[in-house]
Structure 1
Amino acid sequence: MRLVFTLLSSLILSLPAFAELEGKRPKPEGWFYGIGVGFSESIYKGDRNRVIPIPGIGYIGERFNLLGPFVSYELYENGPFDANAKLAVRFDGYDADDSDFLKGMKDRDRSLDGGFSLGLQREDIARLELEYMHDTLSHHKGSETSIQLSRQFNKGPFFFVPEVSAHYLNQKLVDYYYGVEQNEATLERGRYEGRSGWNYRADLNFSTPILFGGFTRLDLGYIWYSNSITYSPIVDQTEGYNIRFAYTRFF
């Protein structure tokens, strides 16, 4: 189920990119629907990778966006600057029965993070965004701060967006999702207390609004995990990738 929601988030987040085409067309508004498929590697030992088809639905308004498990509200916009309040489901975590290696661990639950973002959009250069999100349900009790730089290129109706981002995960978040408590430790799975660290991502998105009366997008992503995560005995990946395809259109 965790992977289902992760892929759904990627699908429904494809439409806002269409809504921000650097002023090349009016921002679309209203309800939309779509479907997508994605592949994502699991970072946890013994947890298999899956390919899953996902349906999606959401709403884009003048200031308010409801994108499945993601909500945002524009607080401020003036020229190239903008500020937004956000709520987002955090999809990290696992069930102990996801793999034989995780048996005996407590489940690590998804949570609902809330926070804000500050953006600077220079149409002739790039978009810079700073975001801070904190646990609102007291599951991981931690926070994530990220900075992202992206640039959009277009060739006719085809759009290409390379993105690079850095994500600082604080100690509480890392320890909750990747730590091993004393009562969970075994001979193969030692006690481990997570520390804060940085994850780094590189993404490349291809999109076009000309196919089948809707919006089509292909995402290619790669992540480098912090040592504070990869040193965990329940983790067997230092890097990972994901591939997603999505199609959305308005009602």
Structure 2
Amino acid sequence: MSSQTALGDLPAGVVRHLCAACVALVVLQGPQAARAETPSDAAAIASASGSESRWGLGLGGGTIRRPYRGVDDETVALPILLFENRWLSMAGPGIDLKFPSTAPLSFRLRARYELGLGYEAVDAPALAGMAERKAGLWMGAAALWRTGVVDIEAEWLGDVSGYSEGQRATLGLQRRVPLGGFSITPRVEAIWLDRRNVDYYYGVRSQEVRAGRSLYEPDSTVNLRLGLRVDYRILPDHVLSLDLSATRLGSAIEDSPIVDRSGTSAAFVAYSYRF
């Protein structure tokens, strides 16, 4: 069995815990850590220079609220593993291949196993009779522009696993503000999901129709996400982090019969050590 198939066949409960691990791995890092998951650490990614390789370890925990009807929030505790050098940036299930570039603009190829998507019918009574939706492997490209005022990252990814066969594009802005031993980094992101993507994860097929759950064939949509990260540097290589985010779901997702929320949220805390 290939590694991709094995990941796709994980039980729903394991997938949800891995999802939380994925988010914490890519969200809760020290200010100099690279992140392949979202543009909210774009400045840290761009700041890596030279050929020195750096590793990071830590512990984190938090909660994720998912949009599916009747699906409980997840609370997890997990380890953190980071790696960064001039050519590669890795965090959790994501990896970036960096192209040589001149500041303030940089480019990279990106591969990421998307653990936060999908469900099984046993996850909640409201999903009974629904076919399993699997997470997938996404690949694409990203560009980062450090303007000196805000850091802007644009990302395009396509589902190469063949599950949704969808695409998505993200435009994110963030600004890190140092405050002595603290730093705060607010961020905002717009995430476009194409029709295939939305239909696979939030649509209802004809054979899945039940009383109270009608046929649903959604179109493309845009999610909006706000986030805030606070880092406290205890010592030069020791960092405590808090990351909060809230996502306003696009209308095509919110109107789905298997969704009962207009938004999702996540909160994480972590300790990390860079060496």
Q: Give the structure-2-normalised TM-score.
A: 0.85
Q: 1:231 aligns with which of 246, 252, 255?
A: 255
Matched, 1:51 2:75: yes
Relative to structure 1, is the Cα distance of residues 236 and 136 closer, same or farther in structure 2, using a 3 angstrom cutoff? same
Matched, 1:15 2:29: yes
Give the residue type in structure 2 aligned to 1:94.
Answer: Y
Relative to structure 1, is the Cα distance of residues 89 and 210 closer, same or farther in structure 2, using a 3 angstrom cutoff? same
Relative to structure 1, is the Cα distance of residues 165 and 24 closer, same or farther in structure 2, using a 3 angstrom cutoff? closer
Task: Give secondary structure in 2 for the equivalent of 1:172.
Answer: helix
Relative to structure 1, is the Cα distance of residues 24 and 70 closer, same or farther in structure 2, using a 3 angstrom cutoff? closer
Q: 1:116 aligns with which of 141, 162, 165?
A: 141
Relative to structure 1, is the Cα distance of residues 46 and 134 closer, same or farther in structure 2, using a 3 angstrom cutoff? same
Task: Quote the residue 1:35 is aligned against.
Answer: 59
Matches within 5 A, 1:121-132: 121-123=146-148, 125-132=149-156
Structure 1 residue ranges (4+ consecutive) displaced by more than 4 angstroms after TM superposition: 20-28
Contact 1:64/1:71 (<8 A) preserved: yes
Alpha-carbon RMSD: 2.1
Q: CA deviation at 1:213?
A: 4.9
> Equivalents in 1 of 2:22, 2:270: separation in Å?
11
Provide the identity percentage: 25
Q: CA deviation at 1:21?
A: 5.3
Q: CA deviation at 1:29?
A: 3.5
Task: Quote the residue 1:221 is aligned against.
Answer: 245
Relative to structure 1, is the Cα distance of residues 232 and 130 closer, same or farther in structure 2, using a 3 angstrom cutoff? same
Q: CA deviation at 1:10?
A: 2.4
Runs of 5+ unmatched residues, structure 2: 1-13, 34-42
Give the residue type in structure 2 aligned to 1:50.
Answer: E
> Equivalents in 2 of 1:22, 1:89: separation in Å?
19
Compare 72-81 and 165-174 and name the one that shifted more: 72-81
Matched, 1:75 2:99: yes
> Equivalents in 2 of 1:7, 1:211: separation in Å?
27
Aligned residues: 250
Compare 30-39 and 162-171 and name the one that shifted more: 30-39
Relative to structure 1, is the Cα distance of residues 230 and 243 closer, same or farther in structure 2, using a 3 angstrom cutoff? same
Matches within 5 A, 1:137-148: 137-148=161-172
Matches within 5 A, 1:78-117: 78-90=102-114, 91-117=116-142
Q: CA deviation at 1:51?
A: 1.0
> Equivalents in 1 of 2:200, 2:47: separation in Å?
43
